[in-house]
Structure 1
């Protein structure tokens, strides 16, 4: 698994990635995510395609090292989007993506990673909690905010 920049050469293939139909209410697609990144530069968006060999299998987007005091922007490091194509779910890619993201943001000096999720029972909350994220008690746009302590020794 590798994180790859999105370019004109791979944009169409990456934008074609889709979660299972029942999950579409939980995660915005790649094309819309890229539009959001362009529309909200103050969120310091950082995004990559996720590849297994030569095939795109997912997408990840973060707010990267956002300076304090930007209203409405969680951070400094916030996992904004994590998408694994439906064909590749259940194969460990979600965890591998989080492992790679944790290593990158930790190397950048981060001590925590935030995310939020749709609060439905069949949503991604259990996945994040199993990884080690814990609720902060905050809610952002109707979604509970979770925190991962990057100083914890058990993380990659």
Structure 2
């Protein structure tokens, strides 16, 4: 498994990536993530997840993003902004690989924790994130639970 940058050669494949239909309300499509990466180039870290030559997912991390404009300006965080694993590739360890790779990148940049948010509903990704070691912070963002992983 490996992460690759989004390029003119692979972006159309990235745009065609889709999660299971029952997950469409849990994660934005890749096209929205790429638009956000364009708008926030200093903070977004979009990457494609490959298993050999097969595209299996999309990850977008964020670095030093101001958490909340109403909080102290030094409250800047890094973590997982978006994770889309192809419908036919789920349950194969790609999500775990992607989160671990993002945490390694955060570490290389001097960080020691990663944040994520998830929709608190049945069928949502909460169990996945808790299994990886994330714990709820007690905060919410847009109605989603905020989780943190320290190392």
TM-score (norm 1): 0.87
Alignment correspondent of 2:9: 9
Alignment correspondent of 2:69: 71
* Shift of residue 37, structure 1, vs aligned partner: 2.1
Map 1:35-54 onto structure 2 (within 5 A): 35-41=35-41, 44-54=43-53
Please say if residues 63 and 75 of structure 1, whose CA atoms lie closer than 8 Å, have aligned partners that are also in contact: no
Alignment correspondent of 2:97: 96
Show CA shifts across 1:88-131 (max 9, x none).
00111111111111112112111110010111121001100011
Alignment correspondent of 2:142: 141
Equivalent residue of 1:83, what SS? Answer: strand
State the distance in 1 between where 2:2 and 2:70 align.
31
State the distance in 1 between where 2:67 and 2:47 align.
26
Show CA shifts across 1:15-55 (max 9, x none).
1110000011101111111112223446x111101111111
Alignment correspondent of 2:106: 105
* Shift of residue 76, structure 1, vs aligned partner: 2.1
Equivalent residue of 2:138, what SS? Answer: strand
Show CA shifts across 1:127-153 (max 9, x none).
000110000000001101000012xxx
- The CA RMSD over aligned residues, in Å, is 1.9
Alignment correspondent of 2:21: 21
Structure 2 alignment gaps of length 5 or more: none
TM-score (norm 2): 0.90
* Shift of residue 72, structure 1, vs aligned partner: 7.3
State the distance in 1 between where 2:118 and 2:55 align.
23
1:118/1:147 Cα in 2 relative to 1: closer, same or farther (>3 Å)? same
